């Protein structure tokens, strides 16, 4: 087939001798992106597109260290209340507007004050933005904020052209103008998003494709068939069950990284009437549930062993994982003993809601079988996702199988779920000590102090278990064997610097 | 005929109003909160409240309905909650795609289904009839998503003849556009061909046993003339009915086929919109397909009158 392709190419170029082929990279995404505006965007695939379209103040390494992007250096004041950043010289936006401290100020203002902005909560700590000089910006904070750099390495730190933002308002999403390595060409909803190389990019030499096309193909089998047929060069989120077959194919290769997120069972312990059952009221029942589950079995049965078993908000590979609580081995006797101690020697009946997709339902069926042997009889209630979300938020559930995509800073995986009144604290958990520890970890810039606070919080949370963690998904990319230089990042993004394709 | 069409168009108005009321109320009855879905993982209460206000989700449902229908009459179907694109523009983007897919599928269905039906009625009880019936039954029984994936694996991955999925606008590259649409149209078309074949067969059977066919044969007309000019024309009325109904359904989107072949048509758009509780998009599309359906029915009524002069007096 490659020969046939080459012949066709040779024929085509025989007619236009000397012409250079414009190289296009076609990437298959699992979903269609939402609004292409960093301040409004909320989807994972949207972030993948932004990575080629919009530069951020800072970026991360695969080990989650913060590295320069549009900011070349930064300085924290000793009290942790001011952050001064030196900005990169010679950067222009896709519309020719110059990038400078004024542009950063305009961007932070938009993220904080655009009514539709989804970035407000990520930047609440910033109370003042000062343009020190053309290439220096200073942020004043309400209180020290350990999470700020991580926020600035994602959508909250993406810089859009202030000229374009002022001119187009909310319509910015229809024609986004940033300063990334590729600029926006067109978007056909549910069909494609096309970007082209931005010649004036500050690091243009590192980017080797003339155009990048993102194609949303939701069905995993079809996405892979497109790669095999040569209609895609690369895809994200290969199904774990397809990994073996792709590895056996010489024309393809895979890359993978354990994600920052998790899948878990959120238990209603204090969110309305449905919390009033043995599961919601007695931590021993939740402990019994947790110890009745063999997390490796879930991984083997549903994900062919490709994913990572887990029991905390961060994967075991994370520097924030508390090794004092390793992933528990399954112990049915211990589970029964805990139930008996709680006064439920005959077992308990619980209802767990789960999204109505085959994979999550399969996960719950495996859990159901294992918990059943320990006397925890689970009825599975499959719901369409929007309904599941609304019921969970309203407290109309006993337990809910949901996940979290994960954040670079540990705070993002735990604070809003476990603190009293937290934005996503759907389990209704409240513990003053945990609140104090997690709030404290947020305002310290000292890694050792923070780690101590998270470990202390896990001492409590591992007993209370408002969330029973099950596993951590692994991002799996599949691509043509001719792709070189791709680095897998735990945030699941596709960074194209240094990536080449030899056909 | 003109008066007839005018009458039908007048009757269509209350029907469209009813459709709009149904769409609007039914989807408000769906559980799930659009704002919660829109907010995604970050749920900032301030933003949620603002969005509710912005999209008038706090207004009484009657007020919401009249705001929507009022704007719709002025040609404004609102904005997609999910992508900020105007619904009218989304429809303008998708409609040609869906019409092209539906037309190609229907052509394939007619080319296969009608001759097969005529032949199997004419050769009733012979092996030709049996083979045609078995093929038709398999066409009906094989699920579209399975046939689609099998075709992608065989024709795109193994043989490399056609692109596995995607879409090219007809205006950009007619040949390329037909190539990308061929497999999905075939998958859709085979299912419909089976239905058409069954209807053609039974209509032909009843016509072929009528007196005037015997008379035509007795007059010594060639069998081909009897079959095509006398029998088929009279058997056309039920075939036209089925064809227009099917075409109407296709316009509402062939969800599974579009999903498998990643064709950006109505089906995928409306399914995604329902899952995201993107009310404006769902309402806009259902209204649009409802109107298309009514229009197709009027066309069918006109076609009956052309085919069968006896119906013109009504």
At residue A199, the pLDDT reads 95
> How wide is the angle at C-alpha B310 spanned by C-alphas B11 and B292, nearest 5°?
30
Residues B69, B103 within the same domain: no
Assigned CATH for A55-167: 3.90.76.10
Report if residue B126 sits inside a domain: yes
Same domain, B135 and B231: yes
Number of domains in chain B: 2
State the CB neighbour count (10 A cutoff) for residue B282: 23
The answer to whether B164 contacts chain A (CB < 8 Å) is: yes
Residue A436 has pLDDT above 70, yes or no: yes
In the predicted structure, residue A133 carries a pLDDT above the cut 50: yes
Q: Is A416 left (phi over 0), alpha (psi -120 to 50) or beta?
A: alpha
Sign of the alpha-carbon torsion through A316, A317, A318, A322: positive
Which one has a higher pLDDT value, A332 or B275?
A332
Same domain, B254 and B302: yes
Distance from CA of residue B268 to its chain's centroid?
13
Per-residue pLDDT tens over the stretch A154-211: 999 999 999 999 999 888 999 999 999 999 999 988 889 999 999 999 999 999 999 9
Picking from B37, B44, B83, B179 by the largest number of A CB atoms within 10 A of its own CB, the best residue to mutate is: B83
One domain, residues B235 and B189: yes
| Structure-token pair, residue A393 | 């938020």
Which one of B94, B149, B272 has the shortest CB-CB distance to A222?
B149
Please give the average per-residue pLDDT across A130-144, as a whole number: 96
- Assess if residue B10 is contained within a domain: no
B183 and B302: one domain? yes
In a domain, residue B1? The reply is: no
- Nearest Cβ partner for A219 among B156, B160, B259: B259
CATH fourth-level superfamily of A24-38+45-51+180-256+478-503: Periplasmic binding protein-like II (3.40.190.10)
- DSSP H stretches of helix in A239-353: 243-247, 278-281, 283-292, 295-303, 332-341
Question: Same structural domain for residues B57 and B174?
Answer: no
Q: Does domain A262-472 have CATH number 3.10.105.10?
A: yes
Which of A32, A226, A404 is the closest to B164 by Cβ? A226
How many Cβ contacts (< 8 angstroms) between chains A and B?
139
Q: Are B157 and B164 in contact (CB under 8 A)?
A: yes
Is the domain of B35 the same as that of B181?
no
Residue B135 has pLDDT above 70, yes or no: yes
B210 alpha carbon, distance to own chain's centre: 34
| Torsion (CA) A207, A209, A215, A221 in degrees, nearest 10 | -90
Contacts of B165 in chain A (CB under 8 A): 217, 222, 225-226, 231
Q: What is the pLDDT of residue A71?
A: 97
> Taking Cα atoms as reference points, which of A289, A400, A392, A278 lies closest to residue A351?
A400
Write down the ipTM of this complex: 0.76
Q: Do B40 and A191 touch (CB under 8 A)?
A: no
**Cβ contacts (< 8 Å) between A42 and chain B: which residues?**
38-42
Instruction: Name which of B38, B42, B273, B279 to mutate to probe chain A: the one with the most chain A Cβ atoms within 10 A of its Cβ.
Output: B42
The C-alpha atoms of residue A155 and residue A55 are separated, in whole angstroms, by 9
More confident: A439 or B232: A439
Nearest to A45 by CA among A54, A58, A36: A36
pLDDT confidence of residue B304:
82
A485: closest CA of chain B, how far (Å): 26
Task: State whether residue B277 sits within 8 Å of chain A by CB.
Answer: yes
Inter-chain residue contact A385 with B275, CB threshold 8 Å: yes
Q: What is the pLDDT of residue B314?
A: 53
Nearest CA in chain B to A124: B44
Which of B50, B90, B164 shows the shortest C-beta gap to A115?
B50
A107-120 mean pLDDT: 92
Instruction: Look up the domain containing B49 and give its range.
Output: 15-73
Most confident stretch, A127-131, B12-16, B70-74, B149-153? A127-131
Task: Let me know if residue B202 belongs to a domain.
Answer: yes
Quick check: B43 pLDDT over 90?
A: no
- In this complex, do B36 and A390 lie within 8 Å of one another by their Cβ atoms? yes
Residue carrying structure tokens 């986004």: A176
CATH number at residue B177: 1.10.3720.10
Tell me the per-residue pLDDT of A78-102, one tens digit each, with 9 for 90 and over: 999 999 999 999 999 999 999 999 9
Answer whether residue B83 is part of any domain: no
Name the band, by pLDDT with cuts 50, 70 and 90, for residue A3. Answer: very low
A371-to-A286, A337, A353, A378 alpha-carbon distances in Å: 11, 14, 15, 7
* Spatial CA neighbour of A412 closest among A150, A98, A120: A150
pLDDT at A118: 86
Chain mean position to CA A501: 26
Mark whether B111 and B249 lie in a shared domain.
yes
A441-445, A468-472, B243-247: least confidently modelled range: B243-247
* Whole-number Å distance between alpha carbons of B211 and B227: 14
- The answer to whether B75 faces chain A, any CB pair under 8 Å, is no
Distance, in Å, from the CA atom of A2 to the CA atom of A251, rounded to the nearest integer, reads: 10
Residues B64 and B105 in one domain: no
Let me know how long chain B is: 314
Per-residue pLDDT tens over the stretch A25-56: 999 999 889 889 999 888 899 999 999 999 99
Q: Does B159 touch chain A (CB under 8 A)?
A: no
pLDDT for residue B14 is more than 70: yes
Please indicate, yes or no, whether residues B36 and B169 belong to a single structural domain of this protein: no
Residue A463: both structure tokens together: 């007993």
Min distance B241 CA to chain A CA atoms (Å): 33
Query: In this complex, do A32 and B272 lie within 8 Å of one another by their Cβ atoms?
Result: yes
Same domain (yes/no): B57, B100: no
The segment with the largest mean pLDDT, out of A97-101, B145-149, B204-208, B266-270, is A97-101
CA A282 to CA A268: how far, in whole Å?
11
In-domain check, residue B137: yes
Domain assignment present for B2: no
What residues of B are in contact with residue A384 (Cβ under 8 Å)? 32, 275
Q: What pLDDT band is residue A276 in, cutting at 50, 70 and 90?
A: very high
Q: Quick one: average pLDDT of A300-304?
A: 95
Q: How confident is the model at residue B279 (pLDDT cuts 50, 70, 90)?
A: confident
What chain B residue is nearest to A32 in terms of C-alpha separation?
B272
DSSP H or E run through A424: none
Read off the tokens for A149.
Answer: 């750099």
pLDDT band at A13 (very low <50, low <70, confident <90, very high): very low
- Distance (Å, whole) CA A209 – CA A26: 10
Q: What is the rounded average pLDDT of the residues B189-195? A: 88
For the cut 60, the answer to whether the pLDDT of residue B273 exceeds it is yes
Q: Which helix (H) or strand (E) holds A432?
A: helix A432-442
Model pLDDT, residue A14: 40
B198 and B147 co-located in one domain: yes
Binned at pLDDT 50, 70 and 90, residue A11 comes out as very low
Q: Is the pLDDT of residue A305 over 80?
A: yes
Query: Which H/E stretch holds residue A476?
Result: strand A474-480
Q: Is the CB of B39 inside 8 Å of chain A's CB atoms?
A: yes
Instruction: Flag the least confident range among A13-22, A299-308, A379-388, B25-34.
Output: A13-22
Write down the mean pLDDT value for chain A: 92
Q: Which residue has the higher pLDDT, A348 or B298?
A: A348
- The minimum CA-CA distance between A459 and chain B, rounded to whole Å, is 27
- The ranges of chain A annotated as CATH 3.40.190.10 are 24-38+45-51+180-256+478-503
Q: Compare CB distances from A170 to B39, B84, B272 and report the shortest one's residue.
A: B84
Q: Cα A50 to the chain's mean position, in Å?
A: 13
Identify the residue among B45, B53, B166 best suited for mutation to test binding to A, counting A beta carbons within 10 A and taking the highest.
B166
């Amino acid at each position: 087939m490659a020969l046939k392709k080459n012949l066709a190419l040779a024929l085509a170029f025989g007619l236009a001798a000397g012409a250079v082929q414009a190289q296009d990279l076609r990437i298959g995404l699992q979903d269609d992106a939402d609004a292409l505006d960093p301040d409004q965007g909320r989807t994972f695939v949207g972030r993948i597109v932004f990575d080629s379209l919009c530069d951020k103040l800072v970026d991360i390494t695969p080990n989650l260290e913060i590295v320069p992007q549009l900011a070349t250096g930064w300085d924290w004041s000793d009290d942790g209340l001011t952050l001064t950043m030196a900005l990169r010289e010679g950067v222009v936006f896709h519309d020719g507007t110059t990038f400078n401290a004024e542009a950063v100020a305009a961007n932070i203002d938009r993220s904080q004050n655009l009514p539709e902005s989804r970035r407000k909560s990520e930047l609440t700590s910033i109370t003042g933005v000062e343009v020190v000089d053309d290439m220096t910006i200073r942020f004043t904070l309400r209180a020290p904020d350990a999470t700020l750099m991580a926020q600035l390495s994602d959508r909250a730190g993406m810089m859009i052209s202030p000229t374009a933002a002022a001119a187009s308002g909310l319509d910015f999403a229809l024609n986004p103008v940033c300063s990334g390595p590729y600029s926006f060409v067109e978007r056909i909803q549910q069909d494609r998003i096309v970007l082209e190389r931005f010649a004036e990019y500050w690091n243009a030499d590192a980017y080797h494709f003339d155009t990048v096309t993102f194609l949303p193909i939701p069905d995993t089998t079809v996405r892979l068939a497109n790669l095999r047929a040569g209609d895609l060069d690369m895809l994200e989120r290969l199904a774990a069950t397809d990994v073996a077959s792709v590895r056996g194919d010489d024309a393809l290769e895979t890359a993978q990284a354990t994600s920052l997120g998790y899948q878990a069972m959120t238990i209603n312990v204090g969110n309305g009437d449905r919390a009033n059952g043995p599961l919601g009221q007695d931590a021993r029942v939740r402990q019994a549930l947790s110890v009745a589950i063999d997390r490796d079995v879930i991984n083997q049965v549903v994900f062919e062993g490709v994913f990572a078993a887990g029991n905390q908000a961060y994967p075991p590979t994370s520097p924030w994982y508390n090794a004092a609580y390793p992933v528990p081995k399954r112990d049915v006797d211990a589970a029964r003993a805990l139930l008996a101690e709680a006064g439920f020697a005959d077992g308990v009946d619980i209802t767990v809601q789960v999204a109505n997709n085959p994979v999550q339902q399969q996960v719950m069926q495996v859990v159901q079988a294992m918990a059943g042997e320990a006397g925890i009889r689970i009825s599975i209630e499959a719901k369409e996702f929007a309904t599941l979300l609304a019921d969970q938020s309203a407290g109309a559930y006993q337990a809910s199988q949901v996940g979290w995509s994960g954040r670079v800073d540990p705070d993002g995986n735990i604070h809003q779920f476990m603190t009293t009144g937290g934005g996503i604290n759907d389990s209704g958990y409240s513990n003053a000590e945990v609140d104090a520890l997690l709030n404290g970890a947020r305002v310290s810039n000292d890694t050792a102090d923070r780690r101590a606070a998270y470990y202390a919080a896990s001492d409590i949370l591992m007993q209370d278990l408002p969330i029973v963690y099950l596993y951590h998904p692994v991002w799996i990319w599949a691509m043509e064997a001719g792709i070189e230089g791709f680095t897998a990042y735990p945030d699941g993004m596709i960074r194209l610097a240094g990536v080449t394709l030899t056909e | 005929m003109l008066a007839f069409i005018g009458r039908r168009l007048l009757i269509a108005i209350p029907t469209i109003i009813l459709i709009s009321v149904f769409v609007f109320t039914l989807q408000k009855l769906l559980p799930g909160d659009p704002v919660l879905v829109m907010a995604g993982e970050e749920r900032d209460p301030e933003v949620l409240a603002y969005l509710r206000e912005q999209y008038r989700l706090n207004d009484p449902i009657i007020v919401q309905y009249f705001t929507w229908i009022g704007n719709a009459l002025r040609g404004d179907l609102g904005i997609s909650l999910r992508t900020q694109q105007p619904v009218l523009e989304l429809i303008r983007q998708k409609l040609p795609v869906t019409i092209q897919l539906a037309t190609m599928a229907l052509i394939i269905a007619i080319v296969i289904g009608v001759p097969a039906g005529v032949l199997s009625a004419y050769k009733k009880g012979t092996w030709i009839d049996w083979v045609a019936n078995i093929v038709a039954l398999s066409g009906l029984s094989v699920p579209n998503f399975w046939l689609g994936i099998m075709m992608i694996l065989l024709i795109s991955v193994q043989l490399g003849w056609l692109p596995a999925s995607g879409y090219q606008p007809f205006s950009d590259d007619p040949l390329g556009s037909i190539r990308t649409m061929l497999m999905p149209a075939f998958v859709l078309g085979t299912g419909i061909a089976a239905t058409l074949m069954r209807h053609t067969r039974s209509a032909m059977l009843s016509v072929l046993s009528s007196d005037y066919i015997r008379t035509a044969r007795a007059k010594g007309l060639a069998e081909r003339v009897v079959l095509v000019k006398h029998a088929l024309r009279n058997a056309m009325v039920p075939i036209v009915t089925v064809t227009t109904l099917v075409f109407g359904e296709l316009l509402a989107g062939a969800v599974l086929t579009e999903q498998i072949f990643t064709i950006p048509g109505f089906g995928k758009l409306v399914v995604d919109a329902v899952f995201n509780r993107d009310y404006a998009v769902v309402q806009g599309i259902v209204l649009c397909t409802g109107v298309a359906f009514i229009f197709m029915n009027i066309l069918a009524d006109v076609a009956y009158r052309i085919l069968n002069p006896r119906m013109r007096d009504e």
